[in-house]
Structure 1
Amino acid sequence: MDSIISSAVEEICSTGRDGVALSSLCSKLASSVEIKRVLWENLLQIPALQFRKRNRVYDSNDRLIQPFDDAEKLDLNVVAKEKLCDNFLGIYDFSLGGEEKEFHQQPLVLERIASARTNGITQSQLSKEFGIEGNRFFYLVKKLEKSGLIIRQEARVRTRGSGKQCLSTKLIHLYRYAKQLRSQEKFEVTKDEGTWTRGFKRRTYEEDILVNDSVPLMKAICDKLEEAHGKGYLCLILERLSDRYM
């Protein structure tokens, strides 16, 4: 049960200031009604959580939300309080700093990165969603990286069904979700073309993210080099390998 409660708190924190609907939370984590009820009883005992219905905040001791069935009918949202959210994002005893506008943007950017979890999100997509120009956005995320809150790693982005060349960008993860890549590995992102709106609640794009390991490519090249007997043959091999793998 402890693992389910821990997963529930993580799910709540990753949704930021909007929280998550109780019905949605329970459907993801619990299969039986009994487990849902036990989970709800435990969530009510966590002081760092808040229980909302539109603009109304319910006290955890309120009889209206004590029974799980009643709370689910109310369509309550479970929200992590600011301190718990900050701890989840990695913000502890220091200020994010920066200009006033930047100071307010940084937590929102962090929340968006957190919502992507292990998938991460590309720096170019983040810049579009928040409507911040590339250079300004670079400095914003660079500060978050220097603070140890996020990890930025090289990635290539290609659009599905498009003949356009791959674009180079950075794939960003919250520090706790970052993947450690080997020296020859790189993220490759394939995305669908679609519309997007500023603010991350109404995204319509989709991305497939994989780790592209270039070690097999390098091994294939080395094997072919060993077989090569002349410069002309060598150039032909390299050209064919480039067409096949690049």
Structure 2
Amino acid sequence: MAQLLDPARISSRTGWGAALTVGVGALLPAALGSAQALVPASASRVPRLAQDAVLARFGAVGAGGAVVAGRGRLRLVPGPLPAVAAAWPVSVPASAAPAPPVDAGPCGEAGWFSPAPGAAISQVFGVPDTEYAAGYHTGVDFAVFTGTPLLAVADAVVEVAGWGGAYGNWIVLRLPDGHFALYAHMSHLDVHTGDHVDAGQRLGLSGESGHARGPHLHFEIRTQNHYGAVVDPLPYLRSHGCRF
């Protein structure tokens, strides 16, 4: 128990300060005990999550909870990722609106899929960039974490599957209408050259192999299977009912 001080013996601001310190010191443990008693033992909060921590606990997470800083670079927003918040043991207010479901991938036209369902666009087609031999960005970048499944946009034949130099691990599909779809910077390939794949089939996992500044999918649509014979992928996919 704290000793009481006689006010008559306190003759300076220092003395009053000592009295206040003793009083607060006596009350603080009791106050902390009361506050802790109000917090359920099972309650916890979502900490600030680094990308690697998210992947280690939950596997690949969609880009709905990330924003892009520069081509192919990701940083997490301060708020919790929807996919993480659903799995973390936190108390959610009853009035909180549920997160909208992520599109599973099928486009409006039967037999067509997005290559990275639910992913945000981090770089569009045609932006001037001296790092490319063409002098501009030859495809579209989708902001995805390493390990995100990538899907065949249509029934196709695997024209190329392997190492593509600056493209890293890559896959090129020959599509039914004669165009080619290129997937670059992958971390894992599930298919081989000459395979027939179905629309929506998993081709492999995204990554940052080759010349990439952070994990993302570089996706091209080519009119012929060689460098620079490209068209803007977004209007092409939108013509088949894909939404971005």
TM-score in terms of structure 1 length: 0.28
Asked which structure has the greater CA Rg, the reply is 2
- The structure in which a higher percent of residues are helix is 1
